Structure 1
Amino acid sequence: MSKAVKIMASAHYVPKHVVTNEDLSQVMETSDKWIQAHTGIKTRHFALGENTSDMCVKVAKRALKEAGLSSSELDLIIVATITPDSLTPSTAARVQQKIGADKAFSFDISAACAGFVFALSTAEKFIRNGSYKRALVIAAETNSKMMDFKDRTSAVFFGDGAGGVIIEGADNPEDDMFVAEKLKTQADAEVIHSGRISPLREIAAENYPSIDAFYQDGHAVFDFVNAVIPEHIETLLEENSLIPQDLDLIIPHQANLRLIEKIAAQLELPLEKFATNIETNGNTSSAGIPISLDEVLRQKRQQGLILLTGFGAGLAYGSILLDISRFKYTCK
């Protein structure tokens, strides 16, 4: 039987270690003035001594506490990440083990900065069909471990963090928070890539696996987002008899404050309608959207329609429209 799907709880975590623009200027040719002018970023957090699954566990425990659940009441765990602890086992499986979610199944999703949107969409389908009752969806990135700190065009953007939600099936249609969605991929493996592994060329004792650092063509990304994302948002809204002005809030991927300003201008919306944390957290890749979502819910700003919009390597992009007015916040 098809179920309504609602968000039960949310949580986020950013590491304690704060890295300022001035700190970065000590290890690469850049400045606080240049970084703020081009990105809007003032600080970011680096996970020193923490890995991706460690941050996920903190989010998972906080979300479970908010929902009043034990880990054994989870049926599914999905982690969206492009900075996993390892290629295998999945980061989600590590989280499952660490929190003792003995009745769940788990897996990772790789969709870069659109990862949380893709993961939430996937989990919603599992819950909606009624086969499973509750899912924990987390996006987490330890971007710092994949940076080339000689590449100032990329390294100045990124920070570490994690955020997530617990969703649940419900019998009452009035509880349904998921209104609409649209996921897309415009295939291009060159604009953004990370962790590439070269194929074996010969059998030799000296062979040892190695991966490359994160890379992005900033100008190509900027052009792609300007050309595609506003139209993508407008198309989704039009398909649901809505216009941008009907939205109470947009939670975009925290890519670059200047880019978010461009999107706002193209949609003819004030910047105040966009939730941002990039100024203090930097670009946390897939984690930026759930971190912002948790911040919005914790402020108890009971907006109606909220649009989550992610875009990143792949090139993958997607949006989910939520009715947050139906969220019953339990945190005091």
Structure 2
Amino acid sequence: MTGIIKGTGACVPRNTLDNRELEKLVETSDKWIQERTGIQRRHIAAKDTAASMAAKAAKEALAQAKLKPEQMDMILVSTMSSEEVMPSMACRVQDEIGAFRAVCLDLNAACSGFIMAYATACAYIEAGLFQNILVIGSECLSNVTDWSDRGTCILFGDGAGAVVVTAAHGRGTIPVLGSDGTKGEALTLKNRKNQTPFSGPLTKEDLSPCYIRMDGQTVFKFAARKVPEAIEEVLLKNKLRKGDIKYYVLHQANKRIVEAVAKRIGEPAYKFPMNIQEYGNTSSASIPILLWEMQKQNMLHPGDNLVLAGFGGGLTWGAVIITWR
């Protein structure tokens, strides 16, 4: 048995923040942002939360798959921006959609999270443990963005994407997944400072808000090197050639990174669809949102081979191959 994607869904907030509006918050410009990132605007949550967006995306994916919530055996949510530590976001989604049979689990691999979650779902299915799994990437990054830091606030947006992965006859593909914790300081998001009876009083620094911090050059160089390596490796492991691949669906972090990957592996730009101009970097939600858009635009047809590849904090990376059905 193998896992196949049977339905897609997405939820993005209605409110948008374009580059012109960002010019009023920090010293930047629309031209500067577009030249360096390709981003024109990003969607920012007002009333929605990461959990509510995840549930909305899940409902759409289920409707498209023509499956009921109670048919789900598992809900896997990839997120690094949940509003609460406990209960898990997957449990919040379960409650909202009525998937009372599902085992619920959150996973955090930052912007690589959807790839890791998808590979995990396929492993459960190939092991014969589950038949139907909801895989969701959902982020409310506006809550963890320092809007006075022009190096990061221009990049991130909010949104959720979901897929329903179901069991089907056939052989599964072999994923390529990796992590390098020695470079973890290149991209961080600190948590609250815990206080115990032995820790002493909290300092002003301990009480300061926690935001995403990034060494942009280090992350860029890492992604431009590691993603092509992962793509080449996943093709080799699955005995496929570049000519067998219809599209490379990459994490939408930066237009220049996607272009660098295409150039390095020697594939034409049209095989690398992008929507970063509209949504910015939505972390683990970016790949499922892009898949959802591609399906809506009738870009995907049965038999199409796709490479999905992500990279992010940890540092982490991953690539998988799917055949659209």
The answer for the alignment partner of 1:192 in structure 2 is 187
Maintained 8 Å contact 2:2/2:122: no
The answer for the alignment partner of 1:48 in structure 2 is 46
1:209 to partner: Cα distance: 6.8
The answer for the alignment partner of 2:81 in structure 1 is 83
From the superposition, tell whether residues 156 and 68 of structure 1 become closer, same or farther in structure 2 (CA, over 3 Å).
same
User: CA separation in 1, counterparts of 2:36 and 2:117?
Assistant: 30
1:8 to partner: Cα distance: 1.4
From the superposition, tell whether residues 256 and 131 of structure 1 become closer, same or farther in structure 2 (CA, over 3 Å).
same
Given candidates 280, 293, 296, the residue that maps to 1:295 is 293
Query: Does 203-212 or 312-321 show the bigger shift?
Result: 203-212
From the superposition, tell whether residues 18 and 292 of structure 1 become closer, same or farther in structure 2 (CA, over 3 Å).
same
Say whether 1:314 aligns with 2:314: yes
User: CA separation in 2, counterparts of 1:247 and 1:96?
Assistant: 35
Corresponding letter in the other structure for 2:237: E
The answer for the alignment partner of 1:330 in structure 2 is none
The answer for the alignment partner of 2:72 in structure 1 is 74
| CA offset digits 1:18-75 (Å, max 9, x no partner) | 1100111111111101100110101110011211001011111111111222211111
1:204 to partner: Cα distance: 4.3
User: CA separation in 2, counterparts of 1:148 and 1:94?
Assistant: 27
The answer for the alignment partner of 1:272 in structure 2 is 270
User: CA separation in 2, counterparts of 1:156 and 1:305?
Assistant: 33
Corresponding letter in the other structure for 1:151: D
* Residue-pair matches, total: 319
Say whether 1:323 aligns with 2:323: yes
| CA offset digits 1:184-223 (Å, max 9, x no partner) | 0011220001133345473449998765101111000011
From the superposition, tell whether residues 126 and 209 of structure 1 become closer, same or farther in structure 2 (CA, over 3 Å).
farther
Give 3-state SS (helix, strand or coil) of 1:89's partner.
coil
1:179 to partner: Cα distance: 2.5
Given candidates 214, 217, 226, the residue that maps to 2:215 is 217
| CA offset digits 1:155-196 (Å, max 9, x no partner) | 1011111101011113x32xx6x4331110011220001133
| CA offset digits 1:270-289 (Å, max 9, x no partner) | 11100211011111111110
Query: Does 238-247 or 215-224 show the bigger shift?
Result: 238-247
Given candidates 62, 65, 77, the residue that maps to 1:64 is 62
1:297 to partner: Cα distance: 2.0
Give 3-state SS (helix, strand or coil) of 2:239's partner.
coil
Corresponding letter in the other structure for 2:271: K
The answer for the alignment partner of 1:152 in structure 2 is 150
Corresponding letter in the other structure for 1:319: A
From the superposition, tell whether residues 66 and 205 of structure 1 become closer, same or farther in structure 2 (CA, over 3 Å).
same
User: CA separation in 2, counterparts of 1:49 and 1:219?
Assistant: 34
| CA offset digits 1:2-27 (Å, max 9, x no partner) | x2322111111111001100111111
Structure 2 residues without counterparts, runs of 5 or longer:
none
Structure 1 residues without counterparts, runs of 5 or longer:
328-332
TM-score by length of 1: 0.91
Corresponding letter in the other structure for 2:199: E
User: CA separation in 2, counterparts of 1:299 and 1:27?
Assistant: 35
User: CA separation in 2, counterparts of 1:25 and 1:156?
Assistant: 10
User: CA separation in 2, counterparts of 1:235 and 1:6?
Assistant: 21
User: CA separation in 2, counterparts of 1:271 and 1:204?
Assistant: 55
Maintained 8 Å contact 1:249/1:307: yes
1:243 to partner: Cα distance: 3.2
The answer for the alignment partner of 1:304 in structure 2 is 304
User: CA separation in 2, counterparts of 1:205 and 1:198?
Assistant: 8
Give 3-state SS (helix, strand or coil) of 2:180's partner.
strand
Matches within 5 A, 1:152-171: 152-170=150-168
Give 3-state SS (helix, strand or coil) of 2:122's partner.
helix
User: CA separation in 2, counterparts of 1:146 and 1:10?
Assistant: 27
Corresponding letter in the other structure for 2:185: E
Maintained 8 Å contact 1:196/1:211: no
1:296 to partner: Cα distance: 1.7
User: CA separation in 1, counterparts of 2:34 and 2:14?
Assistant: 21
From the superposition, tell whether residues 103 and 226 of structure 1 become closer, same or farther in structure 2 (CA, over 3 Å).
same
User: CA separation in 1, counterparts of 2:213 and 2:108?
Assistant: 16
